[in-house]
Chain A
Amino acid sequence: MSEQPLLRVEGLSKYYGNRLGCKDVSFELWPGEVLAIVGESGSGKTTLLNCLSTHLEPSAGRTEYRMRDEVWRNLYELSEAERRFLMRTDWGFVHQNPADGLRMTVSAGANVGERLMAVGDRHYGHIRETAIDWLGRVEIAADRIDDQPRSFSGGMRQRLQIARNLVTGPRLVFMDEPTGGLDVSVQARLLDLLRGLVGELGLAAIIVTHDLAVARLLSHRMMVMKDGRVIEAGLTDRVLDDPREPYTQLLVSSILQV
């Protein structure tokens, strides 16, 4: 692991007019670390994620990112061109609904290849080879490469979206409820896959979820949010096995036991 964190967040707040989105969030994310943000609906998880990924501009606070050239940059001071370049090279964003993150009308291969072409790869054979390789890594059969994602099942679409994001070797991936719309057995497979990829590639990831099982399986650390504030943060096992805040205790005890 590197001596320096990858992402530094200080006092991040977002207001929608008078309404609070999230308030005074600070943390550091280290390379290869998976951070889960949990909490109930409306607790500000997605607002926080959108601020971090520069989809939203926060009302206050700063987020600094260590670029590949080791220079720290404030994300909200990057030019739009730099931000979009970062989004398609060094970052990934996995949406809850795969249709938001995929191009539904072009083939699976082109979906995976788009980022490569966006950074200047102009060799068809190489793009296709890489696409086949990545489809294999997310357990999609190579003969589906020319099919459009609309012919894919929900789980396959989500895996395709992950492949599309990881193909440029990003260092940081944002995930918004990656297992949201999937049934339990498919969720389990996807989590297994994600855990493998994150470990293998040394990715740092920020995962927003309301599913504590996802947090338990994937994340090293977690933050619990309520009403826009972080009320508890720590190692995942510590938070889940020994929750300190009453709300976290409620959350943990609300898991259904089958």
Chain B
Amino acid sequence: MSLIPSYNFAYLDEQTKRMIRRSILKAIAIPGYQVPFASREMPMPYGWGTGGVQVTAAIIGPSDVLKVIDQGADDTTNAVSIRAFFAKVANVATTTHTADATIIQTRHRIPERPLQAGQVLVYQVPIPEPLRFLEPRETETRKMHALEEYGLMHVKLYEDIAKHGQIATTYAYPVKVEGRYVMDPSPTPKFDNPKMHMSPALQLFGAGREMRIYAVPPFTEVVSLDFEDHPFEIQHFTQPCALCAATGVYLDEVILDDHGGHMFVCSDTDNCEERRAQGHRGHLSGEELEAAE
């Protein structure tokens, strides 16, 4: 691996990293509050994680070990190229193992393995404002945050129940942080919301296009909004992972053929691989096929 001399360590120049770190510090000081920052152009399109990449670039050091996941997977384009990017511009070690990573940049999932103190989870956020689709005016939403006027958020949940008989929001499920700010946990499935609560890891959220950074410091209260008679619930799956037989994890549906065949597999690929290495087998793990041959 050769360093490219024309780039500063971790791509961004030191002044930019300083600016981003100041925003991160402010975000940590006010959990859930969206701090504006001067988002830079990154060598990737908006929507691919420009916010997350800038946050990672600002906090990464030579001794860090980076893991990048996209919808829980380590091997999709977005994850592979961001990992390669930092391997190239920061010359840091990368890993796919959740336990070994010090920084985990994520798009839309929180790893199944509980995070530890000292780990940092960096979320890529498309739209940081949880009230955006209810109130289009930014001036108004800022005021609503400032004055803690969050009745409107419940209007959305009310609409869900009125239309679907239950709270039908399944991802980007609004949470209240430390009893104060209502926050969009980025489009993670609501399955992951409970993992944010009192997590020992630091959670940072970067929205590049919207130029906002927010944070949940370690051991912070994160409560999903709900109604007394319609309490918050995570998704439940009726079958285990078809590859590693794990239960109580978030599963992806994979279409197998065009005759309606499908399977449910772990969304977190690292967790699935680890379990299979430990000898866990699901009903479609391929053992029986091999045995038959």
Contact = CB atoms under 8 A, between A and B. Distances in A.
A145 B162 contact: yes
Interface string B146-167: 0101011011001101110000
Given A123-B228, A124-B161, A146-B163, A103 B151 contact: no
A109 B162 contact: yes
B162 A125 contact: no
Interface in B156-194: 158-159, 161-163
Interface string A54-90: 0000000000000000000000000011001000100
Interface residues of B, number: 18
Contacts of A125: 229
B142 interface: no
A201 interface: no
B230 interface: yes
A107 interface: yes
Given A122-B228, A124-B230, A146-B163, A117 B149 contact: no
Contact of A80 (B147, B154, B162, B227): B147
Interface of B is mostly: helix
Given A122-B228, A124-B227, A125-B229, A115 B158 contact: no
Contact of A106 (B159, B229, B230): B159
Nearest to A145: B162
Given A123-B227, A124-B230, A125-B229, A118 B159 contact: no
Contacts of B229: 123-125
Contacts of A186: none
B162 A114 contact: no
A78 B74 CA distance: 54
Contacts of B226: 122
A127 B158 contact: yes
B155 A84 contact: no
Nearest to A118: B151
Interface residues of A, number: 23
Contacts of A113: 155, 158
Interface string A126-163: 01100000000000000001100000000000000000
A113 B152 CA distance: 10
Contact of B155 (A80, A81, A103): A103
A107 B245 CA distance: 43
Contact of B159 (A107, A122, A123): A107
A148 to B, nearest CB: 10
A119 B151 contact: yes
A106 B227 contact: no
Nearest to B226: A122
Given A109-B158, A113-B158, A117-B158, A84 B149 contact: yes
A117 B147 contact: no
A110 B149 CA distance: 16
Given A84-B147, A118-B149, A110 B230 contact: no
A125 B162 CA distance: 10
A114 B152 contact: yes
A122 B229 CA distance: 8
Contacts of A146: 162-163
B227 A122 contact: yes
B148 to A, nearest CB: 8
Given A122-B227, A123-B229, A146-B162, A114 B151 contact: yes
Given A114-B152, A123-B228, A146-B163, A81 B158 contact: no
Nearest to B167: A124
A145 B159 CA distance: 11
A114 to B, nearest CB: 5
Contacts of A123: 227-229
Contact of A110 (B147, B159, B227, B228): B159
A128 B228 CA distance: 13
Contacts of A80: 143, 147
A115 B226 CA distance: 17
Nearest to A103: B155
Given A113-B155, A114-B152, A107 B162 contact: yes
A153 to B, nearest CB: 21
B147 A81 contact: yes
Interface of A: 80-81, 84, 88, 103, 106-107, 109-110, 113-115, 117-119, 122-125, 127-128, 145-146
Given A80-B143, A117-B151, 12 more contacts: A81-B147, A107-B159, A107-B162, A110-B158, A110-B159, A113-B158, A118-B149, A122-B226, A123-B229, A124-B158, A124-B228, A124-B230
5 contacts: A117-B155, A118-B152, A124-B230, A125-B229, A146-B163
